[in-house]
Amino acid sequence: MMDAAELRRRTQEFLAAHPPADIPPAPPADAAGDPLPPSADAARLDFLRARFDAGLAWVHYPEGLGGLGAPRALQAVVDAELAAAGAPDNDPRRIGIGLGMAAPTILQYGTDEQKRRFLRPLWTGEEVWCQLFSEPGAGSDLAALGTRAVRHGDEWVVNGQKVWTSSAHVARWAILIARTDPDVPKHRGITYFVCDMTDPGVEVRPLRQITGEAEFNEVFLTDVRIPDAHRLGETGDGWRVAQTTLNNERVAIGGMRLPREGGMIGPVVKTWRERPGLRTHDLHQRLLALWVDAEVARLTGERLRQQLAVGQPGPEGAGMKLGFARLNQAISGLEVELLGEEGLLYDDWTMRRPQLVNFTGREAGYRYLRAKGNSIEGGTSEVLLNIVAERVLGLPPEPRTDKDVAWKDLAR
């Protein structure tokens, strides 16, 4: 079994062979999302590809797939060594859907060929991923989805509409679930695919949000042909495969690693300390309570990652994501109150098409508006409450009258 000392030695040998000092610097943090100069981008990609091939991308993944088969907890050893050396990372915020959702699903259900094809460019960020799950009539009740995939020889022909698709405008690949058998109950008869977003018949349209941006999209699929070789899991077993994706998604959203006063609480605390004239007793008490809640959430996230180190994510991730949404909305609301009229200012209402969400690098007004989406994306808070009640607390499930009804016979 590989230990921390051995992994540290390997990382140091890798850094000696691939000195980060040879890589041109990236743009400053406020330019996040802008393309790197060609020379810097090429050098950075060479470094990331070499890191993947050395097994230092995901140390708990198998050898040859970015890992070394080491305990997941030892990833922190690698990350610390690389950060101390000033090594470039793979810009995980930009490729979060690929890292947090597509990769673990491909690892668990993909064929050897699929793993070799998709995991390396996914991790290096050369290929961005998006998620084609939700539909206009199947959001919270995702299993009611109606996008159809019909098999023709070695291909599937897909028709339907997806919605709330983050990063679809920059994605090369998508994880997609579609109905392949309408004659069985809705949780059966779903199949999971990898969809090429550059294929004919894939149309991406922006959805303008309350922030003025169009980070989300709706995607129309018209006679899109997907080879059977891009199916993940067995035909009709897509709901089970999708649960792996959804569990990992909630952990990725709600259980991200943060330092103390990281995330949304940081800008509020900074303003409080630097501008004492804004303080009132009521705001002081509320800020203290939210600071404690943020610290509890941070430490709970650490415990959740320790659990992940010894197994697969479970329904506990739903609780983390639920708390994340509530906390962000409460903190951003307090920040607007603290700043008064200034908190309502928001300097960019243009129709931007960002590649990533930058909560802490924007104004308080942006944070307040964007945080409203936290209780919808990654599973609505209402659905997550049901998951926590049934699968964590063991409470009786809600009555479901449609479990044994064929999808084609459901009222819509």
Answer yes or no: do 11 and 71 share one domain.
Answer: yes
Residues 32-48: what's their mean pLDDT?
A: 73
Whether the Cβ atoms of residue 171 and residue 197 lie closer than 8 Å to each other:
yes
**What is the torsional sign of CA 140, 357, 93, 202?**
positive
Predicted local confidence at residue 346, as pLDDT: 78
Answer yes or no: do 269 and 194 share one domain.
Answer: no
Domain presence at residue 406: no
Gyration radius (Cα) of the chain, Å:
22
In degrees, rounded to 5, the angle at the alpha carbon of residue 66 between the alpha carbons of residues 64 and 67 is 85
pLDDT digits (tens, 9 = 90+) for 321-333: 888 899 999 999 9
Closest to 356 in 3D by CA, of 199, 125, 80, 25: 125
User: Under 8 Å CB-to-CB from 177, ≥6 apart: which residues?
Assistant: 132, 133, 142, 145, 147, 190, 191, 192, 193, 238, 239, 241, 242
High-pLDDT (> 90) share of the chain, % = 60
Predicted local confidence at residue 307, as pLDDT: 65
Closest to 92 in 3D by CA, of 79, 105, 81: 79
Catalytic: which of 81, 135, 215, 249? 249
Give the separation between CA 317 and CA 252, rounded to whole angstroms. 9
pLDDT: which is higher, 310 or 212: 212
pLDDT digits (tens, 9 = 90+) for 343-382: 888 777 666 787 767 777 788 998 999 999 888 877 788 8
The answer, yes or no, to whether residue 298 has pLDDT greater than 70, is yes
Predicted local confidence at residue 404, as pLDDT: 87
Closest to 190 in 3D by CA, of 244, 133, 239: 239
The answer, yes or no, to whether residue 29 has pLDDT greater than 50, is no
Of 190, 220, 239, the one marking the end of a domain is: 239
Answer yes or no: do 154 and 198 share one domain.
Answer: yes
Domain presence at residue 104: no
The answer, yes or no, to whether residue 31 has pLDDT greater than 50, is no
Domain presence at residue 304: yes
Of 239, 257, 282, the one marking the end of a domain is: 239
Residues 119-144: what's their mean pLDDT?
A: 94
Answer yes or no: do 26 and 78 share one domain.
Answer: yes
Answer yes or no: do 180 and 256 share one domain.
Answer: no
Predicted local confidence at residue 32, as pLDDT: 44
Quickly state the pLDDT bin for 27 (edges 50, 70, 90).
low
Predicted local confidence at residue 344, as pLDDT: 82
Residue 81 is among the residues annotated as catalytic for this protein: no
Answer yes or no: do 22 and 78 share one domain.
Answer: yes
- How many residues are listed for the chain in this entry? 412
Domain presence at residue 398: no
3-state secondary structure of 196: strand
Answer yes or no: do 136 and 225 share one domain.
Answer: yes
pTM: 0.86
Domain presence at residue 102: no
Calculate the CA 411 to chain-centre distance: 32
Closest to 320 in 3D by CA, of 265, 395, 257, 261: 257
Strands 216-227 and 173-179: unpaired
Residues 34-59: what's their mean pLDDT?
A: 85
C-alpha distances (whole Å) from 365 to each of 53, 136, 329, 338, 375 are 43, 28, 12, 12, 18
Answer yes or no: do 166 and 137 share one domain.
Answer: yes
Answer yes or no: do 268 and 226 share one domain.
Answer: no
C-alpha distances (whole Å) from 103 to each of 4, 73, 118, 318 are 24, 18, 8, 19
- For residue 288, the domain's CATH number is 1.20.140.10
DSSP string, 363-390: -HHHHHHHGGGGGTTTS-HHHHHHHIII
- Lowest mean pLDDT of 53-67, 142-156, 248-262, 335-349, name the range: 248-262
Whether the Cβ atoms of residue 106 and residue 114 lie closer than 8 Å to each other:
yes
3-state secondary structure of 184: coil
Of 213, 239, 265, the one marking the end of a domain is: 239
3-state secondary structure of 132: strand
Strands 216-227 and 129-132: unpaired
Residue with tokens 């019909």: 150
Whether the Cβ atoms of residue 288 and residue 269 lie closer than 8 Å to each other:
no
Predicted local confidence at residue 251, as pLDDT: 64
pLDDT digits (tens, 9 = 90+) for 48-101: 999 999 999 999 999 999 999 998 889 989 999 999 999 999 999 889 999 999
Answer yes or no: do 178 and 251 share one domain.
Answer: no
Q: How many domains does the chain have?
A: 3
3-state secondary structure of 370: helix
The answer, yes or no, to whether residue 260 has pLDDT greater than 60, is yes
- Lowest mean pLDDT of 155-159, 165-169, 344-348, name the range: 344-348
**What is the torsional sign of CA 406, 412, 372, 356?**
positive
Instruction: State both tokens at 118.
Output: 């998709």
For residue 403, how many C-alpha atoms fall within 13 Å in the half-sphere facing its CB? Answer: 5
Predicted local confidence at residue 240, as pLDDT: 96
Domain presence at residue 401: no
Whether the Cβ atoms of residue 254 and residue 320 lie closer than 8 Å to each other:
yes
Answer yes or no: do 342 and 225 share one domain.
Answer: no
Answer yes or no: do 194 and 71 share one domain.
Answer: no
- For residue 171, the domain's CATH number is 2.40.110.10
The answer, yes or no, to whether residue 396 has pLDDT greater than 80, is yes
Give the domain extent around 40. Answer: 4-89
pLDDT: which is higher, 114 or 341: 114
Domain presence at residue 404: no
- Lowest mean pLDDT of 210-214, 281-285, 303-307, name the range: 303-307
High-pLDDT (> 70) share of the chain, % = 90
